[in-house]
Amino acid sequence: MSAIEVSGLRKAYGKHTVLDGIDLHVAEGTVFSLLGPNGAGKTTTVEILTTLQAPDAGQVSVSGHDLARDPDGVRHSIGVTGQFSAVDNMLTGAENLQLMADLLHLGKVAGRRRVAELLDRFDLVDAAKRMAVTYSGGMRRRLDLAMTLVGQPKVIFLDEPTTGLDPRSRHTMWQSIRDLVAGGTTIFLTTQTLDEADQLADRIALLNGGVLVAEGTPTELKRLVPGGHVRLQFSDPGRLDHAAARLADGTRDDDALTLDVPGDGGVATLRTLLDRLTREEVEPDGLSVHTPDLDDVFLALTANTPARAELTKDGAR
Ligand SMILES: Nc1ncnc2c1ncn2[C@@H]1O[C@H](COP(=O)(O)OP(=O)(O)OP(=O)(O)O)[C@@H](O)[C@H]1O
């Protein structure tokens, strides 16, 4: 079953069309990441999917609930953690969670049990009785996510979950997200960190100029842009000379003793290359596959838009 189905989604602010017919399909138990330059309409999309804004046109269903006919059904099946955390600084971690349990009318016993479970799961047991104001950034994010999970939502909208976290805390958060997905939860992720989308997302959609300009797995997206190559490493200049003469399409680096042969890194091209090496009697000492990263994809597919210019100006890639 699909967790989110969107077709023909449109939204304009006055004369400014932000979403010009968007189709999305997010399978249950997967991470879907929506990427795009500043101002592309990511927040608008999330706000529509979470019932905070009405679309001008289009069909949306979240967790089987039609957005137009059953917005309460949508609200009950989702969790949202935004850049503006719901954590109350003057309450302890346990109190913050208990407050959520009370708001959701979980009942005394079930509520306490859920709070204890979540404190344990997010490694907050020792800090449970401390006010959240004393928490580190990583602890606060974990508490924020734990609060979202009190109601056991089927679909979670995560907005920049690791911004400002150190590498260890970021990896801990990524692991928590993977655990959630393994348990069947669906994650709709917006992030400015393409590395994060690459790490977590099963599928990525790239929004630009009101439409989705690309959609696929991270690997599929990377194959869309040129720049992939196989790097052949040699141990002496003589072997590099021989290889460069035989493989004329390669780009040599005499200092590093490498020859880069263009290729998309796929198994078929790799097999062809290996056959070619045997035929041409080229014997590299090492071989590594280099595919473009998501930054390359993002820059190639969102080039020459005003939003792109804004992105460069801010240096906020
Ligand atoms: N309430 C509003 N009224 C008018 N214009 C709006 C409103 N909300 C958003 N916009 C405009 O719609 C466009 C899309 O904004 P949105 O916040 O959805 O983009 P985004 O992709 O989330 O950007 P960012 O990465 O900067 O957060 C922008 O040009 C923005 O100025």
- Given a contact cutoff of 8 angstroms between Cβ atoms, the answer to whether 187 and 180 are in contact is yes
Q: What is the pLDDT along the chain (317 residues), one digit of tens a residue?
A: 899 999 999 999 999 999 999 999 999 999 999 999 988 999 999 999 999 999 999 999 999 999 999 999 999 999 998 766 789 999 999 999 999 999 999 999 999 999 999 999 999 999 999 999 999 988 998 999 999 999 999 999 998 888 888 888 889 889 999 999 999 999 999 988 888 999 999 999 999 989 999 999 998 898 888 778 899 999 999 999 999 999 998 999 999 999 999 887 788 889 999 999 999 999 999 999 888 888 888 888 887 554 433 433 343 33
Q: What is the crossing angle of helices 108-121 and 93-103, to 10°? A: 140
Q: How many residues does the chain have?
A: 317
CA of 29 to the centre of ligand 1 (A): 28
> Which pairing describes strands 251-253 and 258-262: parallel, antiparallel, or unpaired?
antiparallel
Domains along the sequence of the chain with CATH: 2-223 (3.40.50.300), 229-292 (no CATH)
CB of 13 closer than 6 A to ligand 1?
A: yes
CB of 83 closer than 6 A to ligand 1?
A: no
pTM (2 decimals)?
Answer: 0.80
CA of 237 to the centre of ligand 1 (A): 55
The burial of 28, by beta-carbon neighbours within 10 Å (0-12 exposed, 13-18 middle, 19 or more buried), is given as middle
- Distance (Å, whole) CA 190 – CA 173: 15
Give, using CA atoms, the residue closest to atom 27 of ligand 1: 38
CA of 169 to the centre of ligand 1 (A): 29
